[in-house]
Structure 1
């Protein structure tokens, strides 16, 4: 899972944020401190043996995106752009681009496929005592269980 989480964070880095916002800081793990805007992979669940002989496991990974609350309206507009289903700032589009071409494995060969299933929890998050506006992206990753 460590490689999968890192590969998803790498894919998220491809978003193009509006001028003046800076780059999206991405990590495969929950960071100690947040530099906004931030994307990170959080908790996950694994459903083993979806097919016989460990040939398929299914992972549901919850990722978070957090933005500064220095300007509530600007923060919400930025978050909305990253949560859109398409566009230069879309996390869904950036992450799903790592699926590869038809017939190729996703995440550079780490998984059979992935899909950004939903967005949830659009709200204020507290991280290390600081409040951020954010949301969660739930990503399904499927791959061989024996690997």
Structure 2
């Protein structure tokens, strides 16, 4: 798996959420941005377990992604965040990202990986990014794919 391509594809998948009427569009990036335009989803840190199958046949990566929402109105920000963290629905990040799994038998993320799954949410709290505070949470995404070089 090429990690930079996988990161970009996860951000592209997250971009498919449908935000509630009257809410700004979700900005998404496959890397940690210098500046955040709220609401913002980005792919942060990741870890990789190599050689889950012999012959570089399978690696497993775990990505820590964050979603940050403005906090001009504490309650409204948390309600918006809750909608993004729902397990299903048009604003669900889990549903949007897992839609990139493709049809049964297809590779995930447009052919970049074998499969992916949003496994959990953690760290629902206030975050500071470049001196500005946001309410946010982390989404953990597990991606499996070949460890062999891409053609």
Q: Given the two structures, how large is their TM-score scaled by the length of structure 1?
A: 0.99
**Runs of 4+ in structure 1 over 3 Å off:** none
Give the match for residue 7 of structure 1. Answer: 9
Query: What secondary structure does 1:117 align onto?
Result: strand
Structure 2 match to 1:106: 108
RMSD, aligned CA: 0.4
> Counterpart of 1:61?
63
Question: For residues 1-147 of structure 1, what are the structure 2 equivalents within 5 Å?
Answer: 1-147=3-149
Aligned residues: 147
Alpha-carbon deviations, 1:33-78, whole Å to 9, x = none? 0000000000000000000000000000000000000000100000
Unpaired runs of at least 5, structure 2: none
The answer for unaligned runs of 5 or more in structure 1 is none
The two structures have a TM-score, normalised by structure 2, of 0.97
